[in-house]
Amino acid sequence: MTEASWGDAAKTPTINWRMSASLENVERGDGDMAEVTSLEGAVRAWLELDLHHRTAAILTPERPLQLDGIVIESFTGDRIALLSERLPAQEAQQG
């Protein structure tokens, strides 16, 4: 008989950074329009916001994510920051 073991990989499966995601409650121009981009793009955009906008922002991926064993449908504040710590390294920009 074999025992199942639940390691850290089971708590946080590989994140698909290319899936669609929306970043909401962030002022853009004259309105408060959601930005729809990749999950990676939305998290990187959140990192560039000032504290006021970071606090108000809501990030919603196209599918719920599992982080540290918890399934999350939408991210705010500290949870977006936690997600940002897992971002893949940015490729060097060519110029």
Determine the structural domain holding residue 43 and report its residue range.
17-84
3-class DSSP state of 90: coil
The Cα–Cα gap between 43 and 4 comes to 34
Q: Per-residue pLDDT for the chain (95 aa), expressed as one digit of tens each?
A: 555 445 555 577 899 999 999 999 987 666 665 678 999 999 999 999 999 999 999 999 999 999 889 999 999 999 999 999 999 998 654 44
Q: Whole-angstrom distance between the N-terminal and C-terminal Cα of the chain? A: 57
Measured CA distances, 93 to 18, 40, 88, 89 (Å): 18, 16, 14, 12
Within-domain flag for 59: yes
pLDDT attached to residue 2: 53
Note the pLDDT of residue 95.
46
92 domain residue, yes or no? no
Classify residue 69: in a domain, yes or no.
yes
Residue at 92: amino acid letter: A
* Nearest-angstrom CA–CA distance, 4 and 1: 10
Number of domains in the chain: 1
Position 11 scores a pLDDT of: 73
Tell me what pLDDT residue 79 has. Answer: 95
pLDDT for 43: 96
9 lies in some domain:
no
